[in-house]
Structure 1
Amino acid sequence: MKETSVLCLLYQKNITAESGQDVVLPCRVPSNKTIRAVKWSRADLAKEYVLLYRDDQLDQDNQHPSFKNRVDLQDRQMKDGNMSLILKNVTIDDGGSYNCNIFNGETRSWESINTVSLTVSGQTGGDKQDGPVGLIVGLSVSAVLLVAAVVGFLIYRKHKQQQSQDSHQPPVEFQPV
């Protein structure tokens, strides 16, 4: 068994988060490895990736649009082999299996280090500015009920005034013809 396979088994991890939280997906390699690049990917993104760090900078050329400006390495200097991924403001759409890979400078090849499974609970799409759906529905229903109550009260009042005016008029047989 290769060293990378053992690392993959040891570091396979399940992370659970709430929508809107920032999450750290762990990834470490032995500090004696010569790391030329780090790539975080997901199988469902095809050729696009979550994050690619090489030449001391983030490479956004083939980064999936949903991850732009939301991901970074926990430590860009990768001290102690730390290549953990920070994923900001997670949504349900971020849930899935993430792969941490390095480009090994000694073997000049990509090596899979570990897989992290992320489960996110909460709202979809990350539209936090719209507020929770329950609050919106609750306020909308309350507004409709308030309008219905005001309209009902106005109709009741008009009906009462009509009855009051009718009771003040003399009976038909006493009215002038």
Structure 2
Amino acid sequence: MQSEVLFIGGRSGVGKSSVAFELHAQLAALNIKHCVIEGDSLDLAFPQPWEQHLAERNLAAIWANYRDLGYRRMIYTNTVSVRYTQELAAAMGDEPSITAVLLTATDETSSARLRGRILGSDFQEHLDRSIAAARELELQTPRWVHRCPTDNRSVQAIAADLLPLTGWTANPAD
């Protein structure tokens, strides 16, 4: 069976992780085998190892372990994943079917969400990066990527919108 991946991207504070965890809950309730990988953690280091493609290398290693256990469906979250779907899919090594969604939110919504989770002195730095990322994602994300606004919406409602895009509920068997 061909592997399938749902890439979820978007600025900080848009709800990527929350939506992925809700999708996980909905898929588990439907007994649909899948995994969730938080891409932002695959190369979180200082100094930043981006030049070494560490995120792709770690994704390849983690996905190989899931594949060995029979997994064929992955939810992958990362701020810019929707801009690099081909590179990330290539790192998976098995030519997966790709679905990608850019979650969006206003500056006000993102700021309020970030304020609720960033308690340290670097809040403004996170907010500034989130604003810059939102502008960059809007300009550079391919048009074929689905857009989904998250303002004033529950994670359950957002996940319910994304799940049909995958087609996984129509064909739940491995």
TM-score, normalising length: structure 2: 0.26
Structure number, greater radius of gyration: 1
TM-score, length of structure 1 as denominator length: 0.26
| Higher relative helix content | 2
More strand by share: 1
Higher RCO (Cα < 8 Å, 6 or more apart): 2
